[in-house]
Amino acid sequence: MAIKNNLIKTETFKEQFLVPSYYKNFSCKGTQCRNTCCSGWKVTIPMNEYFTLHGLSCNKSLREKIDRAFRPLHNPSPERYAEITHNHKGNCPLLLDNGYCELHAKCTEEVLPSVCRYYPRGPKFDYAFESSCTNSCEKTLELLFEEEVPISFEKKELTFKLNKTSNSVSNDDRALYHTLRETCFRILSDRTHKLTDRIMMIGKLLSQLDKDKSLPITSIDFSIPLFEININQSLIALINASEWFIENSPSISLLCMEAKQYYSIGELESQYKLALSHFESAFPTHEIMFEKMLVNSLFFRQFPFQDFSANFYEEFISLCGMYAFTRYLSLPIMFGKHQLESFIDLMSKAYRVISHTRFERTILALLKSEEIREYDSLGVFIQL
């Protein structure tokens, strides 16, 4: 397959970026990290970065390690050209025993692929200059859970060297991006409503804007009906959806199997109630924790604009799927556990898939195959 390299250009951005308030407090835990980001998951790099590494002047031993560490994909694109392959321990071959990166230690930071240089930060520059840290990093989750106040945002001057792609954004779309996201985060952080109602309010907002993007937000009726609770129906849909991740997602297949196993040892609803009761007593602020993970994840992923072609309502279906899926994993896997560290380990693993794969497309397709797509069925589905 012929690939044109001229689709990607690297550019340095020194700008005022919008960042979450915890951002300034982030520092990597390095060797203290329980789930280092160099371990256990597929990471891809773009073509220009692959060839920079390929042409790097270095000694023979590092050269061999680089060649082993980065392998072109079967169906490469300029943006996703090669993947990091792991050694028998599941680590990046360039990870040293002391926890540092050999490429970083022996060459300049400049040669690191941007994913390694900036992770867990996710700088964005197309709709707006924004940066935040992904929930897949345990330090990010620790910062999120350190305090209970809702996530706020502030401006900070930052410099990033980034790959500029050919996507272009109109001024109208940029204006909508700002208004819509500000409204979504305000709704999600409004604790006068329970979290599931806040999610359903986002659904009202997005479905109305799909019909008319110029509709004033103040004209939207945000009242939420009382949804029926049907735990069996929600869990069966999630167990079915989790089969796909068991088959196709090595990062979380074991977690999905563990959740499924828990639900298989008794009657579904009783197992759920048992796990919920434990979870609520072990983590009394769980609703706040889920709220903050949602806001942080949606900010990171440019929700609901992360897919340049999707409609907003489909992004809402994916949001419901993301929330329900994280609840589905949390209750059984945290059963009997009380440590916040265990919950952080679980969620950081789940968010490796949620934040860094096409999770939103996958969960959308899986929910549609379960006939969960209409507003009312989603309202019932997320009552977990």
Least distance (Å) from ligand SF4 to the CB of residue 139?
Answer: 4
Q: Is 356 in the site for ligand SF4 (CB under 6 A)?
A: no
Among 137, 201, 378, 382, binds ligand SF4 (CB under 6 A): 137
Q: Is 144 in the site for ligand SF4 (CB under 6 A)?
A: no
Query: Toward ligand SF4, which CB reaches closer, 134 or 271?
Result: 134
DSSP, collapsed to helix, strand or coil, labels residue 126 as coil
Among 65, 86, 139, 198, binds ligand SF4 (CB under 6 A): 139
Q: Are strands 82-84 and 70-72 parallel, antiparallel or unpaired?
A: antiparallel
Q: Is 286 in the site for ligand SF4 (CB under 6 A)?
A: no
Query: Toward ligand SF4, which CB reaches closer, 119 or 129?
Result: 119
* CA separation for the pair 355, 132 (Å, rounded): 12
Q: Tally Cβ neighbours within 10 Å of residue 131.
A: 22
Q: What is the token pair recorded at 182?
A: 């500000």
299, amino acid identity:
F
Query: Toward ligand SF4, which CB reaches closer, 210 or 345?
Result: 345
Query: Toward ligand SF4, which CB reaches closer, 37 or 237?
Result: 37
Least distance (Å) from ligand SF4 to the CB of residue 60?
Answer: 28
Q: Is 314 in the site for ligand SF4 (CB under 6 A)?
A: no
226, amino acid identity:
L
Least distance (Å) from ligand SF4 to the CB of residue 339?
Answer: 18
**Residue 124 and residue 130 in contact, taking contact as beta carbons nearer than 8 Å:** yes
Burial (Cβ within 10 Å: 0-12, 13-18, ≥19) of residue 42? middle
372, amino acid identity:
I
Query: Toward ligand SF4, which CB reaches closer, 181 or 349?
Result: 349
* CA separation for the pair 84, 369 (Å, rounded): 33
Q: Is 138 in the site for ligand SF4 (CB under 6 A)?
A: yes
Q: Is 352 in the site for ligand SF4 (CB under 6 A)?
A: no
Q: Is 96 in the site for ligand SF4 (CB under 6 A)?
A: no
Comparing every residue's Cβ against ligand SF4, the nearest one is 33
Q: Is 19 in the site for ligand SF4 (CB under 6 A)?
A: no
Least distance (Å) from ligand SF4 to the CB of residue 142?
Answer: 9
Q: Is 344 in the site for ligand SF4 (CB under 6 A)?
A: no
Q: What is the token pair recorded at 146?
A: 């350190």
**Residue 138 and residue 144 in contact, taking contact as beta carbons nearer than 8 Å:** no
**Residue 363 and residue 315 in contact, taking contact as beta carbons nearer than 8 Å:** no
Least distance (Å) from ligand SF4 to the CB of residue 255?
Answer: 17
Distance set, CA 102 to CA 97, 120, 187 (Å): 10, 19, 45
- Count Cβ neighbours within 10 Å for each residue of 335-358 and write b for 16 or more, e otherwise: bebeeeeebbbbbbbbbbbbbbbe
Considering only residues 20-39, where is the footprint of ligand SF4 by CB under 6 A?
28-29, 33, 36-37
Query: Toward ligand SF4, which CB reaches closer, 36 or 302?
Result: 36
Binding mask 98-127 for ligand SF4 (x = CB under 6 A): ---------------------xx-------
Burial (Cβ within 10 Å: 0-12, 13-18, ≥19) of residue 252? buried
Least distance (Å) from ligand SF4 to the CB of residue 161?
Answer: 18
Query: Toward ligand SF4, which CB reaches closer, 39 or 183?
Result: 39
Q: Is 278 in the site for ligand SF4 (CB under 6 A)?
A: no
Contacts of 357 (CB under 8 A, 6+ apart): 249
- Helix or strand run (H / E) with residue 16: strand 9-20
Q: Contact positions toward ligand SF4, by CB under 6 A? A: 28-29, 33, 36-37, 119-120, 137-139
